[in-house]
A = this chain, B = another copy of it.
């Protein structure tokens, strides 16, 4: 069970986009260069964000991506689910149905609508994970970053993004 590269990239890209001037578009190439990740592959993650309605892209020169709404209306869960999907981490293969001592009627009751105790516990934990991610917004990340990063670095990063427009 592991989250992979694209999720991390997407989160960092959103952080960069959130710090940009409003209405400013940033192309995939710049985001890829800035993070040092393959452009074509990062593009897939950005497309996922676009399909989820978190960012929107525009074509042509001076095109690229920007956020569709304010950073305080985008949660970590939004980004993670956009890239990683909304499938629950625990998948029930319905082992129950294999029990050798089931009657036909009991076997027919083993449906998705009646999940067993094990699945309920695992899904509750899944919900706790998602609730935690939902409780942090992109604006919170920006605030943390502004205290974590030195003013000099923040200025240099902004300058780098400016000259690559």
Contact = CB atoms under 8 A, between A and B. Distances in A.
A20 interface: no
Interface string A108-133: 00000000111011101111111111
Given A37-B95, A128-B132, A122 B3 contact: yes
Contacts of A59: none
Contact of A153 (B91, B101, B132, B157): B101
B9 A95 contact: yes
B100 A33 contact: yes
Lowest 3 A-B CB distances belong to which pairs?
A36-B98, A125-B132, A129-B129
Interface of A: 1-5, 7-9, 11-12, 15, 33-37, 76, 84, 87, 89-93, 95, 98-102, 106, 116-118, 120-122, 124-133, 136, 141, 144-145, 148, 150, 153, 156-157, 159-160
